[in-house]
Structure 1
Amino acid sequence: MQRITVIGGGFAGLTAAISAAEAGAKVTLYEAHDSLGGRARTAEGPYLTNEGPHAFYSEGPHWAWLKQRDLIGPLAPVPAFEASRGRFRHRGVLRRNPPVALLKLIRHSPEQAPLDRDFHSWAAGLVGEDTARTAAHFAAATLYHHDPGSLSAAFVHARLRRWVRLPSDARYPLGGWGSVIDRMAGRAWNLGVRMETMARIETLPSKGPVIVATSLTSARALLGDPSLVWHSGRTALLDVAVRSRRGDVDVVTDLDSGGAVERFTVRDRSLAPEGEQLIQGHTPIAPWESAADGAARAEGLLDLGFPGWRERTTLRRQGISDGRTGAVDPPGTTWRDRPGIDRGDGVYLAGDQVAAPGMLSEVSFNSAVEAVARVLTEGRFGPVPERWSA
């Protein structure tokens, strides 16, 4: 078999490279950045930040795959949701619990949420306009989208149910996601994958199958295919480190406009220097809003949950993640309607905005495994990875 080329060294690219190499294929991986990881990259210390809040979900398909290969590593302890110091901003006030009507909406069976209706109109018919807006803002914290009410009711409702399940299946690797990326890179190296960083690919290789595991924007430019578009979110990111103080909460979720701020050092003390706390916030912003608009909303959440944070600040970073927070599905669409994995002529896509099921990074994983399975099947070469069912 000819060598498989993987373009992109993030979570999807490393998953594809490992899966192909495990089947005996020769693999070369190219990464434009000077280090691997993509959006899963963890900044170097002393403040170990990711590009926005990151968590694995142990019910997801990638969890068993990573665990089987001993790639997860030690995990931070996760307190039960009901026992944590989580708070909600609702009508400008910090509350311990979300509205009861919102919880009743989430508990509706998945079959009740229609695919072809927007979430707001469906929810309003069940719990009223006010609670429907609150529920959409609650969803914004996990969808990274400024208007979840405009998306498919089935899509939003399924993710709300997954997000608030008890006990929570969210898991946090000690040292940030970068620790998992390092282990994945080590696994790929041991399997003989040739990995080249600082290697920006401008044209596709002339020989062998290629898996393009980049953002959809980069894939569109590389392949010259204007059809490679799908909907995603636009989110303002704010990282703040503060000197420790008794009384700070763990997380504040915004039910008034969407977004959240979360103290990640409550689980993993290695993320910031001794005596300091690392808080990461994300606030979805509309196309016409700026990073400053989103940061201002995040600061309002910090004011409620972390009194005096400005005087205690030792680090502040902010930015925008545009079209890099996973796919969202409008009414009448599902993941099957997104850009297909097989682009023809031996070219395949992997990433979080392509036609694969799952939530957030699960889409990247599923699409990478499926891309490799198609390469190996069509090449009649070795055993194929375990695939998800369409």
Structure 2
Amino acid sequence: MTSNGTNPTHLTVIGGGFAGLTAAISAAEAGARVTIHEAHHTLGGRARTAEGAYRTNEGPHALYNGGPHWTWLKQRDLIGPLAPLPAIEGTRLRLHHQGRLRRTPPLAMLKLLRRKPEQAPVDVDFMTWATAEVGEEGARAAAHYIAVATFHHDPGSLSARFVHERLRRATKLPPEAHYPRGGWGSVIDRMATLAWNLGVRVETLSRVDTLAPLPTPAPGLGPAPGPVIVATSLPAARHLLQDDSLQWTGARTALVDLALNSRKGDPFAIADLDGTGWIERFTSQDRTLAPAGQDLVQGQIPLSPAESKADGVARADHLLDLGFPDWRDRLLWRRDSVSNGRTGAVDLPGTTWRDRPAIDRGNGVYLAGDQVAAPGLLSEVSFNSALEAVTLALTSTRLDLRTA
């Protein structure tokens, strides 16, 4: 891809998370010259894995093999070793339902899973539709369960199609969810290495506060100013582009990270069907995430607008009390935080991903991220939007050259 027959198109990517790296690699593979500007001192964004004894992600993370990003990553040998999934009979998934931990979900919830995604309407909320299909108990249990893939405090209020598509994928057997050994950061490291080998220039600690017009160089002195892909959170993009239309519904979640002395019999995960919340023992699959003899437990508790971090932490502690006996006596390390607007898009009744902020913002600026107009589950939205942004950016450059 060239701009004048000799110089490659220059593409600027703002943000070095999963979306930004996907965009940079795709553009470089197409022949573009790419520069990434990342405000943090390391790449990764929300896919960053902490250094130190406890290899935490920013909340529970999984890589779903049913999405297009799985194939793309695998083709480039970027997934790397995967932590083995526990055998189905040994997963020890527990469901908090009607005040106690159970091994099986309500029968009505299982019946709901037989409904195809296209049977769920876009313009009706999930709770209304699912109640009409299987009754209130099954509908409420299903709505609460899928908080694991929406991070929302009330998934039942969202579009039935949006929720049911995610419910079907999150409950599929064998599971779609897989865990890269060493955390998501191991995938980011491999992506960064590939970007470097493709000639991508990476500028860390490089915060971009304005998209001032770039000067056009004299002929033969370098690439002409090229398109820009903004691969940041939607609030950051709104501030950078000074565009108040960049709005979409998100979620707010309490994140709880714990290190415990290991105890035989601890559950793999606890899903809250009475409320919304998920607790997962990540070292049940990947022992590299904590020192020997210790377990890393991470949880996310969606918060309503009226709830505080303390409310979410209290709900997490209750689930821990039920599933991890004497966890307070075994506690070695703990960190509580709140993730606000950094958990992906959620679609209200009457909306789909097509109604989210458009990728093409005009004037050679494109958006990529998990709250923009692209389909997919969780990180798949970032991936799909990144590929679309690159396609639009480089196609537009080609067209401009033809009409110049």
TM-score range, shorter chain: over 0.9
Q: CA RMSD in A?
A: 1.0
Match of 1:277 in 2: 295
Q: Helix, strand or coil for the counterpart of 2:398?
A: coil
In 1, Cα distance between the equivalents of 2:328 and 2:156?
Answer: 33
Superposed displacement of residue 80, structure 1: 4.1
Q: Helix, strand or coil for the counterpart of 1:379?
A: helix
* 1:15 to 2:33 alignment: no
Match of 1:211 in 2: 229
Aligned ranges 1:7-156 → 2 under 5 Å = 7-156=14-163
Q: 2:250 aligns with which of 228, 232, 241?
A: 232
Match of 1:386 in 2: none
- What code does the residue aligned with 1:56 have? L
1:81–1:166 Cα contact (<8 Å) kept: no
Match of 1:242 in 2: 260
Q: 1:289 aligns with which of 288, 307, 328?
A: 307
Superposed displacement of residue 205, structure 1: 4.5
Superposed displacement of residue 203, structure 1: 0.6
Q: What does the per-residue CA deviation read over 1:132-188, in whole Å, with 9 as the maximum and x for residues that have no partner?
A: 222211111221000111100011011000110100011111100000100100000
Q: 1:315 aligns with which of 326, 333, 337?
A: 333
1:80–1:167 Cα contact (<8 Å) kept: no
Higher alpha-carbon deviation: 69-78 or 212-221: 69-78
Superposed displacement of residue 305, structure 1: 1.1
Q: Helix, strand or coil for the counterpart of 1:87?
A: strand
- What code does the residue aligned with 1:73 have? G
Which has the larger Rg?
A: 2
Q: Helix, strand or coil for the counterpart of 1:327?
A: coil
In 1, Cα distance between the equivalents of 2:334 and 2:369?
Answer: 30
In 1, Cα distance between the equivalents of 2:113 and 2:235?
Answer: 33
Superposed displacement of residue 131, structure 1: 2.5
Match of 1:352 in 2: 370
Q: What does the per-residue CA deviation read over 1:326-360, in whole Å, with 9 as the maximum and x for residues that have no partner?
A: 11101111000000000000000000000000000
**Under a length normalisation based on structure 2, what TM-score does the superposition of the two structures give?**
0.93
In 1, Cα distance between the equivalents of 2:29 and 2:174?
Answer: 34
1:80–1:168 Cα contact (<8 Å) kept: no
Superposed displacement of residue 128, structure 1: 2.0
Match of 1:166 in 2: 173
Match of 1:303 in 2: 321
Q: What does the per-residue CA deviation read over 1:215-271, in whole Å, with 9 as the maximum and x for residues that have no partner?
A: 000000000000000011111000001001112111010001111100000110000
2:107–2:138 Cα contact (<8 Å) kept: no
**Structure 1 unaligned runs (5+)?**
382-390
Q: 1:334 aligns with which of 348, 352, 363?
A: 352
In 2, Cα distance between the equivalents of 1:49 and 1:118?
Answer: 34
**Under a length normalisation based on structure 1, what TM-score does the superposition of the two structures give?**
0.96
Q: 2:385 aligns with which of 347, 362, 367?
A: 367
Q: Helix, strand or coil for the counterpart of 1:326?
A: coil
Q: Helix, strand or coil for the counterpart of 1:325?
A: coil
1:134–1:255 Cα contact (<8 Å) kept: yes
Superposed displacement of residue 289, structure 1: 0.9
- What code does the residue aligned with 2:209 have? E
**Structure 2 unaligned runs (5+)?**
4-8, 214-224, 400-404
Q: Helix, strand or coil for the counterpart of 2:251?
A: strand
In 1, Cα distance between the equivalents of 2:145 and 2:114?
Answer: 14
Higher alpha-carbon deviation: 250-259 or 75-84: 75-84
In 2, Cα distance between the equivalents of 1:343 and 1:286?
Answer: 32
Superposed displacement of residue 83, structure 1: 3.8
Give the count of matched residue pairs: 381
- What code does the residue aligned with 1:344 have? G
Q: Helix, strand or coil for the counterpart of 2:211?
A: coil
2:36–2:201 Cα contact (<8 Å) kept: yes
In 2, Cα distance between the equivalents of 1:275 and 1:80?
Answer: 21
Match of 1:189 in 2: 196
- What code does the residue aligned with 2:315 have? R
- What code does the residue aligned with 1:305 have? G
